[in-house]
Structure 1
Amino acid sequence: MTKSANQTKDKILEAANALFYRDGVRATGVDAIAARAGITKRSLYYHFRSKDDLIEAYLVSRDEPNLAAFRRWFGSSDRSLEDRLAGLFDGLKRATHHPDWRGCGFLRTAGELANMPGHPAVRAASRHKQAIESWLADEFSAAGVAEADALARRMLLLIDGAFSAMLVHHDTAYIDAAAAAARDLGAMAQAKG
């Protein structure tokens, strides 16, 4: 692909990211994305075969930046596991204070497409959640937690539960409660290890 074609594709993805995240994937039409990107609908379809492909690309483009944020919040291994978990949930809490925060884009998109479990975006959301779980399992294993995989799955449930509760209630007390549960689970897991 030429530099110009890559720039156009990037503009489309940037527009899709803004509109899909803000308004949802079903409510956002390709006309609106093309208009925001400053291109024609025909050009959009040159780069993405379908809206479904664009929705998948939207989530794929969010995967590594979101995982990088989680890694940054969790911090380095020179801190205790309790401090690292506190850092992770503090980061989640700070993210919810951003005026443009609309919840987890992966959960929201999968929810909108729940009646289409084979949709490429649902698979992309699943891969993202699996990547977070796998990363957490690696971190817990490196910290000496004996049942690292089980703890990682529980942490993912706490994270996604906190995101969901925040989306519904707009009350950070739910993230604080998830953080407390995470610290308790981490302490119990380390005591077993």
Structure 2
Amino acid sequence: MGTTEKPRRITMTPAARRVLEAAARLFYARGIHAVGVDLIAAEAGVTKKTLYDRFGSKEQIVVEYLVDRDERWRAFLDQRLGAAPPAPPDRVLAVFDASRAWAVENNSKGCGMVNAHAEISDPSHPAYPVITGQKKWMLDLFTQLAGDISPDRATHLGRTLMLLHEGALVAHGLNVFPDPIAHAREQAQALLAATGNT
């Protein structure tokens, strides 16, 4: 599957939804490779036959898990950006604020996409474009927001903001020091101030 193609999706029946919810909890808590279909089926209260009838393979469950997580994150971020003040620097900082709020609710072990990439680094895996696609989307978002601040430096500024953001997500998952996302936000604010737009 190429990185520009949409992943194949399945139709969610109630049983499939239970499988996905169980898989999401288990994959995030224990890791994708560590969790087998027997455990997912048991946690979801379905038979292995039902699981395979709905998804076809464990790989497809992984795809659905990551796509669902990505869609929920994008909707969450879109809502936060929609409520942010219109000034371009405020919109950049709203991304960090959204990530901090999301992390409290959903990311006790760090970014689900980063964690998944640690286990799925083969570009031929059907979930790989989902993982890299989210990060490319985030880079595009930061670059677009940076372009509203400094059009001639949009690429450079967007990449720098992305590095601050992603580094904070990894540090949050490692729990090395308190509140790394807030620290990254402060650094982003200082960067924007140095650009002369706060």
Q: Which band: TM-score by shorter chain?
A: 0.7 to 0.9
1:145 equivalent to 2:128? Answer no
1:28 equivalent to 2:35? Answer yes
Counterpart AA for 1:72: Q
Q: What is the TM-score of this pair, normalised by structure 2?
A: 0.80
Aligned to 2:186: 180
Distance 2:76 2:113 in 1: 15
1:68 and 1:101, CA in 2 relative to 1: closer, same or farther beyond 3 A? Answer: same
Q: For 1:11-42, what per-residue CA distance to the aligned partner results, in whole angstroms no more than 9, with x for missing partners? A: 22122112111221011111111112211111
Distance 1:172 1:87 in 2: 20
Q: For 1:138-189, what per-residue CA distance to the aligned partner results, in whole angstroms no more than 9, with x for missing partners? A: 3343x34303333333222211110111111253342232112212333445
Distance 1:172 1:91 in 2: 17
Contact 1:95 1:101 in 2 (8 A): no
Map 1:1-193 → 2, pairs under 5 A: 6-76=13-83, 78-98=85-105, 101-114=108-121, 116-141=122-147, 143-146=148-151, 147-169=153-175, 171-189=177-195
Distance 2:20 2:41 in 1: 10
1:60 and 1:140, CA in 2 relative to 1: closer, same or farther beyond 3 A? Answer: same
- Structure 1 vs Structure 2 CA RMSD: 2.5
Contact 2:117 2:128 in 1 (8 A): yes
Q: What secondary structure sits across from 1:120 in the alignment?
A: coil
1:131 and 1:148, CA in 2 relative to 1: closer, same or farther beyond 3 A? Answer: same
Counterpart AA for 1:161: G
Gaps of 5+ in 1: none
Distance 1:169 1:137 in 2: 28
Seq. identity, %? 31
13-22 vs 95-104, which moves further: 95-104
How many corresponding residue pairs?
186
